[in-house]
Amino acid sequence: MTWTPGSQDFEAARARLAADRADTLARAAALSRDFDGIVAANALIAVDDEHDPEGGSTAFERAHVAALMARAREHLDDLDRALERLERGEYGQCESCGETIASERLEIRPAASTCVHCARPGSLHTKR
């Protein structure tokens, strides 16, 4: 694959990253609205988690949405770093071992910074 600006591969990667970023921003905005709705609804009722049968589920729902929002922010950071690697000409190179990341992996996970071998938990695959 050729990651030089203007090349077909470069433009395709940039488009995939931009589309993923737009989707993630939309998801983060929707989650933020959901979170605000949960907080607003909870403010209208007396909060006594110990005696309120809905208190535990409301707290769980709020924590769950907050965790999803944090994951969306992390993914945005990953996408921004991938865009930076693309601009530097380092996109598609594993940050752990330096080998080429398979194009199929980059199509599925455009922000991938490691090859499949290095992404495996406990992988000892390193630069040769």
Structural domain spans, the chain? 8-89, 92-128
Q: With cut-offs at 50, 70 and 90, classify the pLDDT of residue 42.
A: confident
Q: With cut-offs at 50, 70 and 90, classify the pLDDT of residue 70.
A: very high
Q: With cut-offs at 50, 70 and 90, classify the pLDDT of residue 59.
A: confident
Inter-residue contact 112 to 67 (CB < 8 Å): no
89-96 long-range contacts (CB < 8 A, ≥24 apart) are 89/3, 89/4, 90/3, 91/3, 91/13, 92/1, 92/3, 92/13, 94/118, 96/123, 96/125, 96/126, 96/127
Inter-residue contact 113 to 20 (CB < 8 Å): no
Q: How do residues 18-37 score in pLDDT, each as one tens digit?
A: 999 999 999 999 999 999 99
